[in-house]
Structure formats: C-alpha cells, structure tokens
C-alpha cells in the first residue's frame, strides 16, 4: 500500500513537471534608462516598447525567456556587457558601423525613429540642417545623451560644440530648461516621450526638421549561438504575420 502510494505520488510529480513550461533558451538582457523604450511602471515593474516586444516573443515561443530587463543598467556598461558576452541580447539599438563590428544584428528592424532637435518654447530658430546651426556662429552647446549613437552622429558632423553630459533624456531636458545649451539633439521617440512624461509640453517643443531617419534593431552578443538568434528571428516573424508587432508599434505612435 505504501509503495503504491509512493509510486502514484511520483507519477503525479512527473506529470506536473512535464506540464510546467521549460525554457530551452534563457537570454540575458538589460534595460536602458530611455523612455519609452524602457521605463518603470507602478509596482516597480519595467515597461516600454522593447519590453512589450520581448514579452510578445515569449508568448509566441514559450521556450524563449528574457531575463534582466527588470532594472536599468548604465548604457556604456550595457554595451560592454553585450560585447563581452555577459549579456546575450539588447532590444533598441541603432545599427552603426562600429556596433556591427561588435554585435550581431537581426536584418529586420523593430521600428523607425528620426534624429531631431528640441528647443525651449519661444525660441524662433529656423533650423533645417546642420549648416543652419553652424551659420549661427554661436559658442553655445548642442546637448545630447552620453554614450549614445546620437552623440557619435552629432560629433561626427563637425563645426558644432557638443555637450553630451546628460545620462538620459530626462537629464537632457533638464539641461535644456536650465539653459545649458540652445538645442537638445536626440531621436524623436525619446524626446517626445520625455517631454510628455516630464511635464515639459508647455516649455519645450521639437523642431520639424529631421536630420536622419533610421531604425532600432535587436542586437546579439557574438557569443550567442546562431540557433538561438534564428529562434528569436522566427518569433519576430510570427509577430509580424499575426499583427502583434503592428499593434505594439501603433501603441507608441511609431512607424515600422
């Protein structure tokens, strides 16, 4: 009788174990403090467009599990972690020549963004190009975010004084409000979200000119197995087909 009960108990445990989700692939990642790519929700939970995409991938392929996006990591350390294989993947990278040499990017983009300028309201600047900024002959800085592709792009243009001491878009807008510079340069996704959620809509506006249209991608460490990368790629393709990616993108007023 005792043996029979033990056997029945073992059978129940086996079937219970078999019914639990088994994550064949666990991918280490991290969150960048960049609203609305990643931002903290109520209850100390992380949200944002990149979190939505990762969670959608987990739903269409339950074997995939992303770990680590629940807390922010300094962007420079995040990039170094991905380069050294301490992180497996990051969602929300601009694809640059320097980054392509370090990471493995998926071919398909996640969403589209544009480099733009923000100014304090009341500034009547008419800027359509970097030459318009250079023609001002001003020694005042153009503000941007430290360690970002926006900073690299801006400094590569030459002839302008760049201040990239801001750690994130929140700091960037505070520097602009405090007159640390005349312009704030970043992508429209981050600037528009930071203006809205920082309560700066009556004080800061984005100029209409676009300086570069590009996309954000998922980037993997070079140590991540190709089979794993292909599995994530296939999950993203499913999200394209079932319309989930379009729904996420429209939620944040973006374009593919």
Q: What gap in Å lies between CA 89 and CA 106, rounded to an integer?
A: 11
Structure tokens at 253: 């007023």
3-state secondary structure of 132: helix
pLDDT exceeding 90 applies to what percent of the chain? 77
Question: What is the per-residue pLDDT across 69-94, written as a single tens digit (0 to 9) for each?
Answer: 999 999 999 999 999 999 999 999 99
End-to-end Cα, the chain, rounded Å: 64
Q: Is the CB of residue 221 less than 8 Å from the CB of residue 103?
A: yes
Section 143-163 average pLDDT: 93
Is the pLDDT at 213 greater than 60? The verdict is: yes
pLDDT band at 251 (very low <50, low <70, confident <90, very high): confident
Ramachandran angles phi, psi of 226, nearest 5°: -60, -35
- Give the count of alpha carbons within 13 A of 233, CB side only: 13
Ramachandran angles phi, psi of 158, nearest 5°: 75, 160
The pLDDT assigned to 252 comes to 81
Is the pLDDT at 19 greater than 50? The verdict is: no
The residue to which tokens 């930071």 are assigned:
194
The pLDDT assigned to 14 comes to 45
**Long-range contacts made by residues 136-142, C-beta under 8 angstroms, separation at least 24?**
138/182, 140/181, 140/182, 141/180, 141/181, 141/182, 142/117, 142/181, 142/182, 142/183, 142/184, 142/185
Ramachandran angles phi, psi of 128, nearest 5°: -120, -10
What is the DSSP code string of 75-98?
HHHHHHHHHHTSS-EEEEEE--HH
pLDDT band at 125 (very low <50, low <70, confident <90, very high): confident
Structure tokens at 109: 């983009």
Closest CA to 205 of 135, 121, 140: 121
Is the pLDDT at 234 greater than 70? The verdict is: yes
The pLDDT assigned to 13 comes to 47
CA dihedral sign of residues 53, 185, 168, 175:
negative
Burial of 214 (0-12, 13-18, 19+ CB in 10 A): middle
Section 52-80 average pLDDT: 96
Structure tokens at 140: 């005042």
- Among 22-26, 53-57, 117-121, name the one with the lowest average pLDDT: 22-26
- Looking at every residue in the chain, the average pLDDT score rounds to 89
């Amino acid at each position: 009788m005792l043996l029979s009960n033990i056997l029945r108990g073992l059978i129940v445990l086996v079937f219970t174990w078999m019914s639990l989700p088994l994550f064949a692939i666990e991918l280490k990642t991290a969150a960048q403090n960049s609203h609305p790519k990643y931002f903290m929700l109520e209850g100390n939970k992380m949200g944002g467009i990149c979190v939505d995409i990762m969670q959608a991938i987990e739903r269409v392929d339950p074997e995939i599990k992303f770990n680590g996006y629940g807390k922010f990591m300094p962007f420079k350390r995040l990039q170094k972690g991905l380069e050294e294989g301490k992180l497996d993947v990051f969602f929300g990278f601009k694809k640059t020549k320097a980054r392509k040499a370090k990471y493995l990017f998926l071919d398909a983009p996640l969403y589209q963004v544009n480099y733009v300028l923000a100014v304090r309201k009341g500034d009547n600047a008419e800027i359509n190009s970097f030459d318009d900024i250079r023609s001002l002959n001003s020694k005042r800085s153009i503000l941007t975010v430290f360690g970002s592709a926006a900073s690299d792009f801006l400094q590569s243009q030459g002839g302008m004084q760049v201040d990239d001491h801001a750690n994130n878009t929140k700091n960037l807008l505070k520097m602009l409000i405090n007159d640390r510079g005349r312009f704030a340069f970043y992508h429209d996704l981050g600037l528009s979200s930071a203006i809205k959620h920082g309560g700066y809509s009556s004080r800061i506006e984005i100029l209409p000119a676009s300086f570069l249209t590009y996309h954000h991608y998922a980037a993997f460490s070079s140590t991540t197995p190709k089979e794993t990368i292909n599995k994530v790629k296939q999950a993203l393709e499913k999200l394209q087909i079932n319309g989930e990616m379009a729904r996420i993108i429209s939620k944040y007023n973006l374009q593919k």
